[in-house]
A and B are shown apart, each in its own frame.
Chain A
C-alpha cells in the first residue's frame, strides 16, 4: 500500500518563526511536490524535486524553501512565517514514468 506521510496534521506557529514541514514517501518515487491549498484557489505548486538535492520553483515559491537530502524525504521550510502563509499544505510524490501523484493527508498550518 503506497504511502505519503506528513509530520503533522495541525500546526500553530507565531509570525516570524521558522517552520519545517516534513514529508516522507515509501514508494521510491523520484518526484516530490509541495502544494498549498486555499479555498477557491485549488492547489498551487510551491516547489518540486525530480531527484535528490534537486529542486525547482513552482508557481508560488516566495517565502518558502525546500530540502531534499534523501530520496524519500522532502522538506518545506518557511524561513519567517507570516499570517498569509496560513493554509493547508499538501505533499505528493510521483514515479517518473507515470502521471499519478500520491498525496499525503495534509498539514493545516495556522500562523498567528
Chain B
C-alpha cells in the first residue's frame, strides 16, 4: 500500500502556541483529508482538500493541499488543551477509491 509519512511524530507544546504538521507521499493524490482522534474515540474529519494549492480553514485550523499534490499541511493556531489528540492525514490516489492514512502526529498541549 501507499506510504504517507507524517511529521513530527509527536509534539509537546505550551497552551497558546501555534502548531504545524505535515504529510508527504511519493505518489500524487487528488484529495487530502485531515482527521483528529481523541483518546478512546475513532477519528473525526476536520478538513477536506480537493485541489492543488487549496487553503481551507476550520476555526483555528488551517490546512493546505501542496502544489506538487504529494503533500499537505495542517496548522493549529493558539492551541488549547482540548486540541490534544492524534492527527491523521489521509490521501486518495487519482485513480483509486481507497484512502491511505498517515502515521499520525500525537499532540500534547501543556496548560
Chain A contacts to B: CB under 8 angstroms: 4, 9, 35, 40-45, 48, 58-60, 90, 92, 99-101, 103-106
Contact = CB atoms under 8 A, between A and B. Distances in A.
B42 A42 contact: no
Category for how many chain B residues contact A? 20 to 34
B92 A43 contact: no
Given A100-B48, A103-B42, A105-B42, A40 B101 contact: no
Consensus secondary structure, chain A interface: loop
Contacts of B101: 35, 42-44
5 contacts: A9-B40, A58-B1, A60-B1, A101-B45, A103-B44
Consensus secondary structure, chain B interface: strand
Interface of B: 1, 4, 6, 9, 31, 33, 40-45, 48, 88, 90, 92, 98-104
A29 to B, nearest CB: 14
B92 to A, nearest CB: 7
Nearest to B40: A105
A42 B4 contact: yes
B98 A4 contact: no
A40 B101 CA distance: 11
B98 A58 contact: yes
Contacts of B104: 42
A41 B103 contact: yes
Could you say which of A59, A99, A103 has the most chain B C-beta atoms within 10 Å of its C-beta?
A: A99
Nearest to A43: B101
Contacts of B90: 43
Given A40-B103, A42-B104, A58-B98, A4 B88 contact: no
Given A59-B1, A92-B42, A103-B42, A42 B98 contact: no
